[in-house]
Amino acid sequence: MTETILEVKNLEANLEDGDKILKGLNLTIKAGEVHAIMGPNGSGKSTLSKILSGHPAYKVSSGSMNFLGQDLNELEANERANLGLFLAFQYPLEIAGVNNLEFLRMAYNSKQKYQGLEEADPLDFDDLVESKLEILSMKNDFLNRNLNEGFSGGEKKKNEILQMLILEPKLVVLDEIDSGLDIDALKAVANGINAYKNAGNAILMITHYQRLLDYVVPDQVHVLSEGRIVLSGKADLALELEKKGYDILNAKLS
């Protein structure tokens, strides 16, 4: 039987003291699967990614999120990450004065330590990073810059994927990883995702556009609307949405 990586049941969540954003969301992701979530603006897509990864501004009011047999709600954001959950941010933050390479090593060693594995010394870690840079056609000088500081939109997204490749998570949530990318950057990012993908891990892509799905083909496409998944299908559902827009929801659901 294939391992279940994420199981979300009847999840309801809201902003602290704010409106309900997720209203009974169900989603099951198994090892080896690629899922895509599409949906109109304001449907709760980005919120879902933040709730899964433990952003403190959101509160789960009911339902459950089970990740590799553990209740995510019981874990802090850094513990979720160390357990193997990775969120690639739609808008990665610029942190001045924090060296990119040192940051990567710190994140890597946090995970190693948490999982009871040996921490990497700087030299071994350099080798690991360089092998991943190639996959993304990134230059070495990326590493000596400050974390995302002054990076272009494409460079920031590549840096997210670089972190993902180094941390080797079990589940990746890609929040609009394709926004703001030119064709070359999109290809490099897709290369990274495909290099990461294997039978033991899983991908959840949040996107507005079909074009990413040409490069990373999903097993399942879900449509999120008003805080719950209203429609699921195969990869061709994304094509249909691209052609006809979200109006088809009304026809299909009625």
Partner 1 sequence: MPNLAERNKNEIEFIEQIFRASSSMLSRIPNIRTRQETAIKRVTELGFPQKSSEDWKYYDSQPILENFFTLDICEINKLDKEIIRKHRFPECSENLLVTVNGHFSKELSSTSLANKNISIIDFNDPEQLKTHPQEEEIINQYFAYKINQEKSFFKACNTALMSNGFLLSVPDDTEIQETIQILHFSNESCFNQTRSLIHLGKNAKLKIIVSYIGLANNHFVNNAVVELILSEGAYFKLDKIQDDTQQGILLYDLYARLMKNSNFEYNSLDLKANHSRDNIKVDLLEPGAHSDLSGFYILNKDRKAHNIIKVNHLAPNCTSNQLYKGIISDSARAEFNGEINVSEGANGTNATQLNKNLLLSHNAHIDSRPQLSILADDVKCSHGSTVGELDEDEIFYLLSRGIKKDDALAMLTLSFCEEIIQKVTIDSAKQHIRNLTLENLDTKIHTANTVHKLK
Residues that bind partner 1 (CB under 8 A): 16-17, 53-57, 76-78, 80-82, 86-87, 89, 92-93, 95-98, 103, 106-107, 110-111, 114, 163, 167
Look at phi and psi of residue 17 and say left if phi exceeds 0, alpha if psi is from -120 to 50, else beta: left
Per DSSP bridges, beta strands 58-67 and 4-15 are: antiparallel
Q: What is the 3-state secondary structure (H, E, C) of 141-178?
A: HHHHCECCCCCCHHHHHHHHHHHHHHHCCCEEEEECCC
Smallest distance from partner 1 to CB 159, Å: 11
Smallest distance from partner 1 to CB 15, Å: 10
Smallest distance from partner 1 to CB 91, Å: 9
Residue with smaller CB distance to partner 1, 96 or 251: 96
Residue with smaller CB distance to partner 1, 103 or 215: 103
Smallest distance from partner 1 to CB 16, Å: 5
Per DSSP bridges, beta strands 171-175 and 202-206 are: parallel
Measure the CA–CA gap between 30 and 21, rounded to whole angstroms. Answer: 25
Smallest distance from partner 1 to CB 214, Å: 28
- Residues 6 or more apart whose Cβ sits within 8 Å of residue 133: 139, 140, 142, 143, 162
Residue with smaller CB distance to partner 1, 79 or 240: 79
Tokens read off for 194: 């495909």
Residue with smaller CB distance to partner 1, 93 or 251: 93
Phi, psi for residue 37 in degrees, rounded to 5: -115, 125
Residue with smaller CB distance to partner 1, 196 or 223: 196
